[in-house]
C-alpha cells in the first residue's frame, strides 16, 4: 500500500463538444491545483484550439500517451461554489456534456476566451478649461458642453438627450475641455431629475398594498432566511408585480441580489423603468436584444456582486449570484423559459434548483400557472399564495362567446365582431383583434379541386404572404411566388384559406377607414424597440390593434376596452397534449388586456364550437376549474405532471437510418432493466422537414429517478453505436411540446 500523496498533474477539462466526457491536459506551468477548477483554459483539440473549463484535477492514467498542454486564462475561477455545482447538476439532469453546459452559461466573449469585462458605467464632466470655453463653442459640442455645465451626466442620460453625443464628446475630450470618469457601481440612478416623485427621494413608493397583496408580501418576507418556494397565483392585474417589488426592496435593504426572470416578450422598457423607479437603483437587463459586449458586462457585474437587481429572460438563469437573496419567475407558465435546442433546459426549473442550493426563497408568479406548478402547490411543495381580485380600480372584463356557424364571415370575422368594434370606436376606446398564433397563417387552396400549396421539402403547407403574392414555409423558410392558376386543374379559383393577420388588417382598414389600424406581428416588428415605437405612435386615440402572441402581455394599453379573439378553433383540436393548457392560458392572458384602467373591458370569443368543454369550463369556472379538469385528464392518461417524459429525436436523409438508430436506442434502454414505457419509434409530428426524415422515441415513467437511471445506463451504448453516426439526434428531458 502506498502512502505517498500523488501530485495532481492533469486538468480534466470540460470542452464544448458533443462528447459526454472530460479531456486531460497538462498545465503549461506544470502543477494542477484545486484552485484551477472553474477557470477557463485554452487547449489544442484536433487541428483547432478550444476554450474549456477545468472541471477536476487528477493524475494521468498509467499508459496514457504524452498529454498536450493547455494555458489557463483566468486567475480566479469563473465558476465556483453554488453555480459550479448547479451547472454540474444541470449536465447530469439534461444528460448533456458538461462542457456544453458551461458554454451555454457564458456570454459569447467569455466563451471565446476574452477577459472578464469592465463593469463601470461611465459619465462625462467638463474640465475647468471646458467651463470657460462654453460660450466659444459651436454646434453639437456646444450643446453637449451646456448639458454638462448643468451637471455631470452618465452616458445613458446623454444618449437620451443628444443624438450623436459621442462624436461631440470626443471632440471636447481632444481639446481637454471634457473628461470621462467611471461611476461608482450602485450610485443611485443619477441626476435625471425629470419626473421627480412625491416622496422626493427619487424612489417612487407605489400604491399601498391591498390585504391579499399584503398577506402575500408578508409570507415572502417571513421566509427570507432560507430556501422556500412560492406560487403567487393571481389574476391578471391583481398586483403581483407590486408584491415582487416589496420582496425585492426588502432583499436590497439586506444588501442581497435579486434575480427576476421574465418571458421574452415581457421584458419591455416599461418593465425596466417601473423597476428602476421603484427600487431607486440601477437595474441590469439581460435579453436576446443585447449585444455580446453588454451581456458580458452584465455577467461581470453579477459575478462581482455589483449588479443588485437583474431582470432577464431565460438565459439570465445562468448568472452568477455571489450574494443572492431572492429569485422571482414572472409568468412562470410561459413557454419561452424552455430552451428548444442545444442544452434543453427549463429556466424556471433550473432557477428552483439554484434557489435551493443558494438557500434563498423563490417566487413563481402567474395568472395562469402551469399545471406542473399548480400540482406542486396543491401537494404542498410550493406555498400557494392567491390574489383573487384585480388591484386598483380595474374590473374584470365581461366575456361573450359568439357562435359563428353559418354566419357570413369576412376575413374570418363575424358581423357581431364588426358591430362590437364599431361601438368601441364610437365610445372613444381601442379594440384589439387577437389572432391565435402565426403558425395558423392562411394556406393557398384551389376552390375547384382542393389542391393546396405544399412545401416540397417538408410535410407542411406553405402560408400566404405579401397580400397573396408569395408563399413561405414556416418550418424551413423556403419561399416561392404564388401561382396564378392551380397547378393541378388549371383553375383560377385560388384562395387563401383561414385569415392571417394581413387579411384581417385589410378587411378592417376597409370597414373603418377613418381609424388607425395597426398590425403587430413578427413581420412588422423585427427589432425589439420597433414594437415600442409603433405603440407609442399609435397612442391612446380610438383605433384598432391586430396582434398575435406578442401582444398578449407586457405593454400597458390603458385605453383598450375590447378584445376580440378569432381563430380559437384551430387551438381546440390539436394532437399536442399541452394544447388545451396553452389555449386556456392564452385566452385568459389576452382577456386580461381588456380594461386594465378604470374603464370596464369586454372580451369576445368567436368560435364554431361554443359548446366545447374547454370553453365552457373556462368561461363558467375560470382557469382553476379548467386546470382541475385538465389535471384529472392528464392523470388518467399518464401524462405530466403525473409522469416524467424524455424524448429522443432523430433525423436523417433516409428513414431507415433514423429508425435503425432509434431501435438501437430502444434496445439499450430496455437492457437497462428500468421499468420504463417506451413509445416508438414513431414519426415526428412533422415527419419530414427540410428534406430530413424525422422520428422519435418517447420515454415515460411515473418516477423521475427511474427515467434518469435508464438514461444513465443506456446513453454510453447509444453514443457509441455506429447507427448514431448516420443521424442527427438529440435528447430532450421534460419536453414542452412533443415536436
Which range binds ligand ADP by CB under 6 A, 13-21, 239-247, 472-480, 654-662?
A: 239-247
Cα 422–426–432 angle (5° rounding)?
55
458 binds, among Zn ion, ligand ADP, none (CB under 5 to 8 A by kind): Zn ion
- State the nearest-atom distance from the C-beta of 458 to Zn ion, in Å: 3
Q: Is 376 in the site for ligand ADP (CB under 6 A)?
A: no
Considering the complex, state which of residue 403 and residue 448 has its C-beta at the smaller distance from Zn ion.
448
681 binds, among Zn ion, ligand ADP, none (CB under 5 to 8 A by kind): none
Q: Considering only residues 78, 91, 399, 473, which one is a binding residue for Zn ion as defined by CB under 5 A?
A: 473
Q: Is 589 in the site for ligand ADP (CB under 6 A)?
A: no
DSSP bridge partners of 338: 346
End-to-end CA distance of the chain: 56
Integer CA distances (angstroms), 579 to 570, 679, 713, 735, in order: 10, 20, 33, 14
- State the nearest-atom distance from the C-beta of 225 to Zn ion, in Å: 54
Angle between helices 579-591 and 613-637 (to 10 degrees): 140
Question: Which residues in 188-227 contact ligand ADP (CB under 6 A)?
Answer: 207-210, 213
Strand order in the sheet with 560-566: 398-403, 602-607, 560-566, 430-435, 543-547, 517-520
46 binds, among Zn ion, ligand ADP, none (CB under 5 to 8 A by kind): none
Rounded Cα–Cα distance for residues 501 and 648 (Å): 35
Q: Considering only residues 12, 86, 94, 236, which one is a binding residue for ligand ADP as defined by CB under 6 A?
A: 236
Rounded Cα–Cα distance for residues 383 and 365 (Å): 12
Considering the complex, state which of residue 31 and residue 492 has its C-beta at the smaller distance from Zn ion.
492
Integer CA distances (angstroms), 354 to 311, 361, 413, in order: 16, 10, 47
- Which string of DSSP letters, residue by residue, matches 39-55? -EEEEEETTEEEEEEEE
Which range binds Zn ion by CB under 5 A, 151-159, 188-196, 489-497, 501-509?
A: 489-497
Considering the complex, state which of residue 35 and residue 598 has its C-beta at the smaller distance from ligand ADP.
598
Considering the complex, state which of residue 208 and residue 481 has its C-beta at the smaller distance from ligand ADP.
208
Strands 283-286 and 309-312: parallel
Q: Is 691 in the site for Zn ion (CB under 5 A)?
A: no
**Contact indicator for 582, 590 with CB cutoff of 8 Å:** no
Q: Is 392 in the site for ligand ADP (CB under 6 A)?
A: yes
632 binds, among ligand ADP, Zn ion, none (CB under 5 to 8 A by kind): none
Residue located via cell numbers 439526434? 729
Q: What is the largest CA-CA distance in the chain?
A: 93
Q: Is 237 in the site for ligand ADP (CB under 6 A)?
A: yes
Go through 388-418 and write b for each residue having 16 or more CB atoms within 10 A of its CB, e for each that does not. Answer: eebbeebebbebebbebeeeeebbbbbebbb
Question: Which residues in 402-461 contact Zn ion (CB under 5 A)?
Answer: 446, 448-449, 451, 455, 457-458
Q: Is 488 in the site for Zn ion (CB under 5 A)?
A: yes
Q: Considering only residues 12, 86, 238, 472, which one is a binding residue for ligand ADP as defined by CB under 6 A?
A: 238
Q: Is 242 in the site for ligand ADP (CB under 6 A)?
A: yes
Rounded Cα–Cα distance for residues 310 and 271 (Å): 12
**SS3 of 703, please?**
coil
- State the nearest-atom distance from the C-beta of 392 to ligand ADP, in Å: 3
Q: Considering only residues 86, 104, 229, 241, which one is a binding residue for ligand ADP as defined by CB under 6 A?
A: 241
User: In 593-678, which ranges are continuous DSSP H helix?
Assistant: 613-637, 655-671
Q: Is 239 in the site for ligand ADP (CB under 6 A)?
A: yes
Considering the complex, state which of residue 239 and residue 397 has its C-beta at the smaller distance from ligand ADP.
239
Considering the complex, state which of residue 46 and residue 208 has its C-beta at the smaller distance from ligand ADP.
208
**Contact indicator for 267, 285 with CB cutoff of 8 Å:** yes
- State the nearest-atom distance from the C-beta of 467 to Zn ion, in Å: 21
DSSP bridge partners of 444: 496
The grid coordinates listed for 543 are: 383605433
209 binds, among ligand ADP, Zn ion, none (CB under 5 to 8 A by kind): ligand ADP
Q: Is 366 in the site for ligand ADP (CB under 6 A)?
A: no
234 binds, among ligand ADP, Zn ion, none (CB under 5 to 8 A by kind): ligand ADP
313 binds, among ligand ADP, Zn ion, none (CB under 5 to 8 A by kind): none
- State the nearest-atom distance from the C-beta of 325 to ligand ADP, in Å: 20
The grid coordinates listed for 617 are: 369550463
- State the nearest-atom distance from the C-beta of 182 to ligand ADP, in Å: 35
455 binds, among ligand ADP, Zn ion, none (CB under 5 to 8 A by kind): Zn ion
- State the nearest-atom distance from the C-beta of 444 to Zn ion, in Å: 11
Rounded Cα–Cα distance for residues 730 and 727 (Å): 10
- Beta-carbon-side half-sphere exposure of residue 199 (alpha carbons within 13 Å): 11
Rounded Cα–Cα distance for residues 58 and 24 (Å): 9
- State the nearest-atom distance from the C-beta of 597 to ligand ADP, in Å: 8
The grid coordinates listed for 595 are: 380594461
Considering the complex, state which of residue 81 and residue 490 has its C-beta at the smaller distance from Zn ion.
490
CA-based R_g, the chain, Å: 29
Considering the complex, state which of residue 35 and residue 492 has its C-beta at the smaller distance from Zn ion.
492
Strand order in the sheet with 494-497: 479-481, 470-472, 463-465, 443-446, 494-497
- State the nearest-atom distance from the C-beta of 394 to ligand ADP, in Å: 7
Strand order in the sheet with 324-330: 283-286, 309-312, 257-261, 324-330, 361-366, 228-234, 383-387
Q: Is 558 in the site for ligand ADP (CB under 6 A)?
A: no
Rounded Cα–Cα distance for residues 339 and 105 (Å): 12
- State the nearest-atom distance from the C-beta of 207 to ligand ADP, in Å: 3
236 binds, among ligand ADP, Zn ion, none (CB under 5 to 8 A by kind): ligand ADP
Considering the complex, state which of residue 262 and residue 464 has its C-beta at the smaller distance from ligand ADP.
262
Q: Considering only residues 240, 278, 346, 708, which one is a binding residue for ligand ADP as defined by CB under 6 A?
A: 240
- State the nearest-atom distance from the C-beta of 236 to ligand ADP, in Å: 5
What is the contact surface with Zn ion in residues (CB under 5 A)? 446, 448-449, 451, 455, 457-458, 473, 475-476, 478, 486, 488-489, 491
What is the contact surface with ligand ADP in residues (CB under 6 A)? 207-210, 213, 234, 236-242, 391-392
Amino acid at each position: 500500500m502506498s502512502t505517498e500523496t500523488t501530485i495532481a498533474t492533469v486538468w480534466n477539462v470540460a470542452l464544448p463538444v458533443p462528447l459526454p466526457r472530460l479531456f486531460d491536459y497538462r498545465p503549461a506551468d506544470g502543477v494542477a491545483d484545486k484552485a484551477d477548477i472553474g477557470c477557463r483554459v485554452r487547449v489544442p483539440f484536433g487541428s483547432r484550439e478550444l476554450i474549456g473549463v477545468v472541471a477536476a484535477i487528477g493524475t494521468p492514467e498509467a499508459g496514457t500517451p504524452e498529454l498536450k498542454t493547455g494555458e489557463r486564462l483566468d486567475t480566479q475561477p469563473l465558476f465556483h461554489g453554488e453555480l459550479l455545482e448547479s451547472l454540474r447538476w444541470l449536465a447530469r439532469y439534461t444528460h448533456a456534456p458538461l462542457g456544453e453546459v458551461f458554454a451555454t452559461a457564458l456570454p459569447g466573449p467569455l466563451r471565446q476566451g476574452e477577459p472578464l469585462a469592465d463593469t463601470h458605467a461611465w459619465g462625462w464632466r467638463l474640465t475647468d478649461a471646458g467651463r470657460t470655453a462654453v460660450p466659444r463653442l459651436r454646434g453639437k459640442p456646444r450643446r453637449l458642453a451646456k448639458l454638462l455645465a448643468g451637471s455631470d451626466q452618465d452616458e445613458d442620460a446623454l444618449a437620451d438627450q443628444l443624438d450623436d453625443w459621442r462624436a461631440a464628446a470626443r471632440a471636447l475630450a481632444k481639446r481637454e475641455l471634457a473628461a470621462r470618469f467611471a461611476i461608482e457601481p450602485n450610485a443611485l440612478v443619477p441626476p435625471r431629475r425629470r419626473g421627480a416623485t412625491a416622496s422626493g427621494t427619487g424612489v417612487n413608493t407605489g400604491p399601498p398594498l391591498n390585504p391579499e397583496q399584503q398577506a402575500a408580501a408578508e409570507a415572502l418576507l417571513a421566509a427570507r432566511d432560507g430556501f422556500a418556494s412560492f406560487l403567487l397565483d393571481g389574476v391578471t392585474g391583481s398586483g403581483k408585480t407590486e408584491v415582487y417589488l416589496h420582496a425585492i426592496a426588502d432583499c436590497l435593504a439586506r444588501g442581497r441580489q435579486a434575480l427576476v426572470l421574465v418571458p421574452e416578450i415581457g421584458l419591455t422598457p416599461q418593465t425596466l423603468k417601473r423597476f428602476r423607479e421603484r427600487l431607486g437603483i440601477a437595474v441590469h437587463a439581460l435579453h436576446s436584444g443585447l449585444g455580446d459586449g453588454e451581456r458580458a458586462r452584465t455577467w461581470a457585474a453579477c459575478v462581482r456582486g455589483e449588479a443588485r437587481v437583474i431582470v432577464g429572460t431565460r438565459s439570465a438563469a445562468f448568472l452568477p449570484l455571489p450574494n443572492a437573496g431572492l429569485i422571482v419567475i414572472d409568468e412562470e407558465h410561459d413557454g419561452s423559459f424552455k430552451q428548444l435546442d442545444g442544452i434543453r433546459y427549463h429556466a424556471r426549473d433550473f432557477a428552483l434548483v439554484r434557489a435551493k442550493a443558494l438557500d434563498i426563497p423563490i417566487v413563481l408568479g402567474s395568472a395562469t400557472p402551469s399545471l406542473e406548478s399548480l400540482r406542486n402547490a396543491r401537494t404542498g411543495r410550493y406555498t400557494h399564495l392567491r390574489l383573487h381580485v384585480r388591484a386598483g380600480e380595474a374590473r374584470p372584463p365581461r366575456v361573450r362567446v359568439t357562435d359563428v356557424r353559418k354566419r357570413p364571415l369576412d376575413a374570418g370575422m363575424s358581423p357581431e365582431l364588426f358591430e362590437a368594434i364599431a361601438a368601441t370606436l364610437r365610445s372613444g376606446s381601442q379594440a384589439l383583434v387577437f389572432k391565435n398564433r402565426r403558425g395558423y397563417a392562411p394556406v393557398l387552396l384551389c376552390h375547384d379541386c382542393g389542391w393546396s400549396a405544399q412545401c416540397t421539402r417538408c410535410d407542411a403547407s406553405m402560408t400566404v404572404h405579401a397580400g397573396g403574392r408569395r408563399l413561405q414555409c414556416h418550418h424551413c423558410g423556403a419561399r416561392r411566388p404564388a401561382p396564378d392558376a392551380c397547378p393541378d386543374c388549371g383553375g383560377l379559383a385560388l384562395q387563401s384559406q383561414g385569415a392571417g393577420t394581413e387579411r384581417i388588417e385589410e378587411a378592417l382598414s376597409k370597414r373603418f377607414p377613418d381609424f388607425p389600424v395597426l398590425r403587430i406581428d413578427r413581420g412588422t416588428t423585427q427589432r425589439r424597440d420597433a414594437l415600442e415605437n409603433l405603440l407609442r405612435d399609435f397612442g391612446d386615440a380610438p383605433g384598432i390593434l391586430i396582434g398575435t402572441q406578442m401582444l398578449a402581455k407586457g405593454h400597458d394599453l390603458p385605453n383598450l376596452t375590447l378584445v376580440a379573439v378569432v381563430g380559437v378553433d384551430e387551438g381546440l383540436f390539436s394532437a399536442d397534449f399541452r394544447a388545451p393548457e396553452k389555449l386556456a392560458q392564452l385566452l385568459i392572458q389576452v382577456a386580461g388586456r381588456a380594461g386594465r384602467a378604470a374603464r370596464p373591458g369586454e372580451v369576445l370569443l368567436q368560435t364554431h364550437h361554443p359548446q366545447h368543454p374547454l370553453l365552457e369550463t373556462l368561461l363558467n369556472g375560470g382557469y382553476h376549474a379548467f386546470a382541475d379538469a385538465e389535471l384529472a385528464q392528464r392523470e388518467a392518461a399518464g401524462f405530466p405532471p403525473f409522469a416524467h417524459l424524455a424524448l429522443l429525436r432523430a433525423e436523417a436523409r433516409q428513414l431507415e437510418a433514423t429508425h435503425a438508430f432509434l431501435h438501437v436506442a430502444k434496445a439499450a434502454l430496455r437492457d437497462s432493466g428500468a421499468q420504463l414505457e417506451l413509445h416508438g419509434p414513431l414519426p415526428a409530428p412533422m415527419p419530414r422537414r427540410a428534406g430530413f426524415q424525422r422520428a422519435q422515441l418517447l420515454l415515460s415513467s411515473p418516477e423521475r429517478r427511474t427515467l434518469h437511471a435508464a438514461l444513465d445506463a443506456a446513453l454510453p451504448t447509444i453514443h457509441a453505436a455506429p447507427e448514431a453516426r448516420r443521424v442527427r439526434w438529440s435528447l430532450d428531458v421534460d419536453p414542452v411540446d412533443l415536436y
